[in-house]
A = this chain, B = another copy of it.
Amino acid sequence: NQNIRIAITPGDGIGPEVVSEAVHCLEALRDKYHLPLEWIRFPWPSHAWHEKHGESMPPDALEQLQRFDAILLGALGDPGPAYDNARYLLPDSVSLAPLLQIRKHFDQWVCERPARLLPGAHQYLADVRARNVDMLVIRENSEGEYVGQGGRLRQGTPDEIATQVEIFTYRASERIIRYAFEQARNRAQQRQASGQPRTFHGQSGSESTSQVCLVTKRNALRHWGDLYTEVFAAVARDYPDVALHHELVDAACMKFVQCPWAFDVVVASNLQGDILTDLAAILSGGMGVAPSCNLNPDNLELPSMFEPTHGSAPDIAGQGLADPTAMLLTTARMLEWLSQKTPQLGVAAEALFNAVTADLADYSGQQRDTQSIGHSVRERLR
């Protein structure tokens, strides 16, 4: 009978602005549905904290976060004054480090990023079929290209050699690929239940109500490409109902623009998934509407982290220009996730999702500021 506890971490740039709308919606939902929800707002991780303490978060940050059921994060990153320097342009890396630390510490091995072109969202592709984009990109979130191994030999000299080691394990590959197949099945069932089944083609020509597309660069990055391919084939045997595809990452990016409506579930490595999900976000209407989450499906006692795909967008920060839609969809996904612990939250998740999508459809393309959108969604929740 304990409350569900959420750590609210607004972060940098537009983070606080969009998080603030999410919190208003959480309040409205809590009051309406008498939800056992509580939250605490943290000033870290953030660039400001870093400026003051030399670290993006306090030494016991991960221990503090561990006491929560979920982390709701706005956005991290502030390039600082280097951004204005014409001769030395460095995308920020320091203030983003906590993101990777949190994902790693709580073993949030799934990064789930749905890309569905909701009614009212901007369509970047000319083809009318792009309206039907509705895919789920599953990104391996615990290893691969992001293990931070390697270094710089003879740094700063003409003889310098920099290395970066990618590490892939059977264990992490198997769980993420299996997770993708499970999601494909769930999606097919949901479509069936709502009377909107879809048909997908496997690479072999077979037909099915769901599909998983594996992405690798097996022809150049052989070692883990082969591992992924073999694991994919093995896991697929347990899912004869799911159509199979295997795309090389370059071809996958191309097809995301050429025929994104042909994809259902896509599973990819950490870096390739990062790239594909940014592309997919555009297909769903842009960063303003692209939700994301970092999940540990094995252990609900550890907090999963919910953050929109977008970054801190320092160029528009503080001006009320940021679209909070992505943040609100992310919040709905958080409530859905937490309903595994407290089923009551499922209703709130649905209510929030419906309010956001209805609002998006009604104001289709109209320029509104952050607070107007938040306010309008909140009104619909009452």
Contact A89–B152 (Cβ < 8 Å): no
Contact B89–A244 (Cβ < 8 Å): yes
- Partner among B148, B246, B258, B274 whose Cβ is within 8 Å of the Cβ of A91: B246
What is the bound-complex CA distance between A259 and B168, given in angstroms? 34
**Closest Cβ of chain B: how far from A272's Cβ, in Å?**
8
Contact B275–A250 (Cβ < 8 Å): yes
State whether the Cβ of A261 lies closer than 8 Å to any Cβ in chain B: no
State whether the Cβ of A188 lies closer than 8 Å to any Cβ in chain B: no
**CB contact under 8 A between A86 and B124, given known A91-B218, A156-B230, A254-B279:** no
What is the bound-complex CA distance between A127 and B257, given in angstroms? 14
**Closest Cβ of chain B: how far from A308's Cβ, in Å?**
14
Contact A167–B156 (Cβ < 8 Å): no
Give A244-268 as 1s and 0s: 1 = Cβ < 8 Å from B's Cβ atoms. Answer: 1111111101100110000000000
Residues of chain B within 8 A of A283, CB atoms compared: 257
State whether the Cβ of A321 lies closer than 8 Å to any Cβ in chain B: no
State whether the Cβ of A224 lies closer than 8 Å to any Cβ in chain B: yes
Give A64-96 as 1s and 0s: 1 = Cβ < 8 Å from B's Cβ atoms. Answer: 000000000000010000011111111111001
Residues of chain B within 8 A of A222, CB atoms compared: 93, 148, 164
Contact residues of A with B, CB < 8 Å? 77, 83-93, 96, 100, 123-127, 145-146, 148, 150-152, 156-171, 174, 202-204, 206, 214, 216-227, 229-230, 232-233, 236-237, 244-251, 253-254, 257-258, 270-271, 274-275, 277-279, 281-283, 286-287, 311
Q: What are 27 A-B contacts defined by CB distance under 8 Å? A: A86-B206, A89-B232, A89-B233, A89-B245, A91-B219, A124-B126, A124-B127, A124-B257, A126-B126, A146-B221, A152-B226, A159-B171, A160-B169, A160-B170, A161-B168, A161-B169, A164-B222, A221-B271, A250-B274, A250-B277, A250-B278, A253-B278, A253-B279, A257-B257, A257-B279, A257-B283, A258-B286
